[in-house]
Amino acid sequence: QVQLQESGPGLVKPSETLSLTCTVSGGSFTSSSNSWGWIRQPPGQGLEWIGTVSSSGTSYSNPSLKSRVTISVDTSKNQFSLRLTSVTAADTAVYYCARFYWNDVSIDYWGQGALVTVSS
Amino acid sequence: QTVVTQEPSFSVSPGGTVTLTCGLSSGSVSTGYYPSWYQQTPGQTPRTLIYSTITRSSGVPDRFSGSILGNKAALTITGAQADDESDYYCVLYMGSGVWVFGGGTKLTVL
């Protein structure tokens, strides 16, 4: 059973950088069948794909966020991370980390989600 | 930019059948987009229902089924139950590492 857990500050000031880390347990973190990614959900709104990273470090991100997003991986700790720069109130959301499983081409495991509020 | 379209809301009677759809603002959805469907109840983490168009995830009741209907992906719930009242999201894999969520459908069972 794969488990994912988000961690990071719950409050970020406008114009600063949002940083979250996801720790993965169970399964094979470095399998080529897996990519690891971030999805967010503003309060009362739908889900939005932010981006993914493979264990080799290849990353992809949502074109609408691309210039502000960095997703990185640390295979020694079974962790991957999100950095989102120049945040505004519109970036307030629950941020989920998830496993993207290429054998099924699906998102099959999700973290519990972390609420990040952007406010001064 | 690609927009994935879903009905904002739908209602179904208990025991009834409902089909939710997932389309593209431009073009048709095919199996090559590997449509998948996720169920989310308020305050909960999304749950995978269907992947690769038609495959039910482990533990998902067989009253949930996926298909391609015309130019859209579809999720059909046969014999709807009260606890099916949820938000349903489709996701398409666009290729080149890019995924796009639909806006979600709020399903009411009444």
Hey, how many other C-beta atoms are within 10 angstroms of the C-beta on B19? 16
Confidence of residue A24 (pLDDT cuts 50, 70, 90): very high
Do B98 and A63 lie within an 8 Å CB cutoff?
Answer: yes
Measure the CA–CA gap between A43 and A46, rounded to whole angstroms: 8
CB A31 within 8 A of CB A108: no
Q: Is the per-residue pLDDT at A66 higher than 90?
A: no
Backbone torsions φ then ψ of A117, nearest 5 degrees: -105, 130
- How many angstroms separate the CA atoms of A43 and A34, rounded? 29
**Listed residue (A69, A65, A89, A56) closest to A19, CA to CA:** A69
Give the pLDDT confidence of A81-104 residue by residue, as tens digits: 999 999 999 999 999 999 999 998
Beta strand pairing status for B17-24 and B36-40?
Answer: unpaired
Given this model, what pLDDT does residue B1 score?
Answer: 78
Q: Are β-strands B17-24 and A114-118 bridged in parallel, bridged antiparallel, or unpaired?
A: unpaired
Q: For A4, which residue in chain B has the nearest alpha carbon?
A: B45
- Backbone φ/ψ region at B34: left (φ over 0), alpha (ψ -120 to 50), beta: left
B96 interaction partners in chain A (CB closer than 8 Å): 60
Q: Which residues of B touch A52 (CB under 8 A)?
A: 97, 99
Residue of chain A with shortest Cα separation from B93 = A105
**Mean pLDDT estimate for chain A:** 96
B24-40 pLDDT, tens digit per residue, is 999 999 999 999 999 99
User: Is a pLDDT exceeding 90 seen at residue B2?
Assistant: no
pLDDT per residue as tens digits for the range B40-61:
998 899 999 999 999 999 999 9
Task: Inform me whether the pLDDT recorded for A109 exceeds 90.
Answer: yes
